Amino acid sequence: MEKPVAVIEITDSCVRLLIGNVVNGKPVIIYSSEKPIAGVVSRGEILNFAALTQLLNSLTDFKYDELRLHVTISEATVIFPPIGFQVYQVDKTTNVVSPTSIIESIDIQNAISLVQKEIVPGGSEIVDIIPDAFILEQGRTFVNPPVGEKSNFITIKAKVHAMPGRVISSYREVVENAHIRAKRCLIAPYATCDYIRSVPDMPRNYLLMDINDGYTALNLVNVHSPIVSGHFLLGQNDLVLRVSQQFGIDEDEAKRIINLYGISEREMSFEPVITQSVLDDGTRREFTQNDLNRVIRGFMDDYLKQFDVTYGELLSGYSEELKKLPVIFVGELTKVNGIKEILEEKFSEANSVTMLDSNVVGAHGSKWATAVGALLVSSRYKGSLTDQRAKVSQVGRVEQGKK
């Protein structure tokens, strides 16, 4: 069995660590853990580097009593939030070095190097390069690097994943401060798509909607790979905050009643109190299911209005037929009672609506889908552009078969 891969995912509300490998194409989880954070990351932006570094140190240096091991993580795949995520299609051609025209590793490295030199607009930087195909003379097309084939030139068609430089540097900095080498960096939607690809009977083309803690990311996915991305700054934590403010209760209590009750339309002969608060003058306020229904529905109305704006921008220039694409949701908010029905009604034109879950042993629930996807990617591709070492094995790719 190959060396296990460690994956680190940092969200607004927690940090997750997943350790595992892939056997016969299936993820095998050795260890998984998450630690809550508050006020450390907000809408994907790191606010408190010292606190996050300390938490990473505690999460990646631990005793695993079950195997009587003391585990220290020195390198990991790091997942970036899709804030400002952009995808570019790039084609580059280079001549083959060998006088015999036999393609060698150096030729693949040269092709990748040309893509790396591509200038990304808007101050963004390249996070990863995902080759779609390698094209040789006579139009011969390969998905894997065609080492050993004969051709005078090689063309690479690749997707470039880019993000704002400040986001990239902040996540790399905090991981390095915790003495962890970022062996590979992945943007969250790409990892999630790889997990979805591993699930039987899932579509190849769809809209991926990830309702995170502090933002929602929308991605148009073509052949299991994001091609257009957008986001807006509303997520599950905003619902918690709204209930907390309108009921005058703390956020932990707000989260508890949201997860416990959600929206319920059951008719009852009386309305039981589900929570209460005390005003400054000592007056006690009591709240019922109907009160919670009102707040959640009001939030979802505002949420879907913001979605319409971002979705319209995302589909600008594309056919209206895309509105019929299957929709796949990720995020714990979809598990709140009544939310699933609201989202299904919103996407009634879609061919299908799926609330993604993870049934992987050791990583249950949709919150682990992105980390499991990152494990699949990292196990399939040995190394990454992050290593800054020119090896063919560092190249990611999208599909397993020929184009």
- Using the predicted structure, report yes or no on whether residue 367 has a pLDDT greater than 60: yes
Superfamily of domain 5-83+166-196+360-394, CATH level 4: ATPase, nucleotide binding domain (3.30.420.40)
- Quick one: CA torsion of 112, 205, 20, 85, rounded to 10 degrees? 60
Note the pLDDT of residue 383.
36
In whole angstroms, give the CA distance from residue 292 to residue 92. Answer: 56
Q: Could you tell me if 21 and 376 are in contact, meaning their C-beta atoms sit under 8 angstroms apart?
A: no
Q: What is the value of pTM for the model shown?
A: 0.88
| Positive or negative: CA dihedral 67, 15, 337, 256 | positive
Dump pLDDT digits (tens) for 370-384: 999 999 998 765 433
Tokens of 35: 């630690």
Q: How far apart are CA 343 and CA 124, in angstroms?
A: 33
Q: Mutual orientation of helices 188-198 and 369-380 as an angle, nearest 10°?
A: 80
The ranges assigned to domains in the chain are 5-83+166-196+360-394, 86-164, 204-351
Structure tokens that stand for 121 in this block? 């607009």
- The CA–CA distances, whole Å, from 275 to 212, 246, 249, 259, 338 equal 26, 12, 8, 13, 19
Topology match between the domains 5-83+166-196+360-394 and 86-164: no
Per-residue pLDDT band for 403 (boundaries 50, 70, 90) equals: very low
Cβ contact 211:304 at 8 Å: no
182-211 per-position pLDDT tens digit: 999 999 999 999 999 999 999 999 999 999
**Is residue 158 pLDDT above 70, yes or no?**
yes
CATH class of the 204-351 domain in this structure: alpha beta
From the candidate CATH numbers 3.40.640.10, 3.20.20.70, 3.30.1490.110, 3.30.420.40, the one assigned to the domain spanning 86-164: 3.30.1490.110
CA gap 85, 167 in Å, rounded? 10
Question: For 54-111, how does the pLDDT look when each residue is reduced to its tens digit (9 = 90+)?
Answer: 999 988 887 766 656 677 889 999 999 999 999 999 999 999 999 999 999 999 999 9
Q: For residue 80, which amino acid is it?
A: F
Under 8 Å CB-to-CB from 287, ≥6 apart: which residues? Answer: 247, 273, 274, 275, 276, 277
